[in-house]
Chains A and B, each alone.
Chain A
């Protein structure tokens, strides 16, 4: 009986110790890590090779009267290694994919009209907003690099790869993006390749167009 009790006690102690060891070593799970800086963003692995890259034209050619969309004879360059197979926005021959490395894209786009950066409460790293003629590019930091989080079309001087611009009708939008889904808040969202293309309408007219990464959601 004495031996049995000893065995049980040893087993209990061993079990408790094992539990403690598991806690310390991380249980073998890949978890988000909250470290000294309490950084909580999952690193987005977007280190893909630079591809020749093509805009998402679908069946409709982009409206070449508007800037910001690739002309039919141009081979748009996708700077920064477009990692997603989502919708791309192209401006001045530069295709921009969500979650792409921002540096080469920004270099190709050249000097912005304006620039603004916003630090999050408490965290290091800045959200950055680069405004160009007709559109804005926002980035988010992960590690040492910035990645594309959003592209916002500001006026009708630019258009999406499928030829939709601010001021276009709902009908035209639905023809260009039949896959778009109407949300509760009235927004039409096209989701593809880990990103969203969002349209806000007012009186059946496109008021806002945004390409959005889903990495931060």
Chain B
């Protein structure tokens, strides 16, 4: 073979080799691309399935929607309430605004445990620093989460943040798994057999179910035969709730927030005198304001024959508004929370909210066959 032929052969071989290398690289690239596209399709499908299967909390059980609603707000609140149903059913931010110009929000949820309240406070502080945080003390009785369903109604609505992660870890029972919170489809996949039109309608949307976190009920069921509490073996609050109460107090102090402890005037669950003593002692020791509305029936004007919708467990609209009028006086008159009715933008925003508040009021009166 001549030198030219050898060179040509060599060049051709080199070219073949380069082609081959490029071809292999191309193939690898295409394989990766196919893999990525396949994965994207699968994960998008799973995401859509998850959006379809998770509970929407827009009809029967709306309490699960409360936490998430906060994120759609203009976060400029002077007063934030945190706690369980004794806050979200017993105080009306609409009345606090109307009567005192107090801009407030209730970050409440069903059977919210104190550690969840603490992490919700941390979460809130990512966006704003209120002047006052109001915490209902009933949840001090719980040393551990009682029900996964309650956990989910508080935790699933939180935006992902270190606070949410910590709250999940603090709340999970042994049977629960962290991944089920990261990927709710792992938990809700069996809902497929019970899906309704609502699940489709609210796959990517939601409708407001509270009024700045307040859950309205206008109906009336008088309290009667409320049982006294059972005798307990131990009336002491557990270590965990006390630890989180300390953390809440310290966090508020660090941020210059005034922490106010309250006990709503709910007749049940029973609020033991032994618990009351402990809270009073704690509040006194740490110079915290503590308002027990159970002892202020006369002052607030609460009438348990007309101001509760479930026999004394929670206030109805009438009761919530009475409490708000009374508490607003403390917030505004004694604690100096500002009257912001002079702020145009805020006032306009509240006009809309008050209209919605009034509209729901009327709708509920009609639904329950009541006259205002």
Contact = CB atoms under 8 A, between A and B. Distances in A.
B227 A122 contact: no
Contact of B233 (A19, A115, A116, A183): A183
A26 B187 CA distance: 9
A23 to B, nearest CB: 5
B185 A23 contact: yes
Nearest to A22: B189
A9 B31 contact: yes
B225 A16 contact: no
A40 B147 contact: yes
Given A115-B225, A208-B230, A124 B60 contact: yes
A35, A121, A185, most chain B CB atoms within 10 A: A121
A84 B310 CA distance: 33
Contact of A122 (B61, B192, B269): B61
A36 B196 contact: yes
B148 interface: yes
A136 B227 contact: yes
A5 B28 CA distance: 9
A93 to B, nearest CB: 25
B42 A16 contact: yes
A185 B64 contact: no
Interface in B100-131: 110-111
B233 A200 contact: yes
Contacts of A185: 233-234
Contacts of B230: 152, 208, 210
Interface in A183-216: 183, 185-187, 198, 200, 207-208, 210
Given A32-B148, A34-B55, A122 B153 contact: yes
A2 to B, nearest CB: 7
Nearest to B108: A121
Contact of A119 (B31, B49, B185, B313): B313
B272 interface: no
Interface string A1-32: 11001001100110011011001111100011
A130 to B, nearest CB: 10
Contact of B311 (A117, A121, A187): A117
A119, A122, A200, most chain B CB atoms within 10 A: A122
Contacts of B188: 34
Interface in B160-206: 175, 185-192, 194, 196
Given A36-B191, A116-B227, 17 more contacts: A5-B27, A16-B38, A20-B45, A20-B49, A24-B49, A26-B190, A35-B55, A36-B194, A37-B61, A116-B311, A121-B150, A122-B110, A123-B61, A152-B230, A187-B233, A200-B233, A208-B230
Listed from nearest, the 6 A-B pairs whose CB atoms lie closest are A121-B110, A40-B149, A208-B231, A114-B225, A122-B110, A187-B233
28 contacts: A2-B27, A13-B38, A16-B38, A20-B42, A20-B49, A23-B189, A26-B189, A32-B148, A32-B175, A34-B148, A34-B191, A36-B61, A36-B196, A38-B64, A38-B153, A40-B148, A114-B225, A116-B225, A116-B226, A118-B269, A118-B311, A119-B310, A121-B110, A122-B64, A122-B111, A122-B149, A200-B232, A208-B230
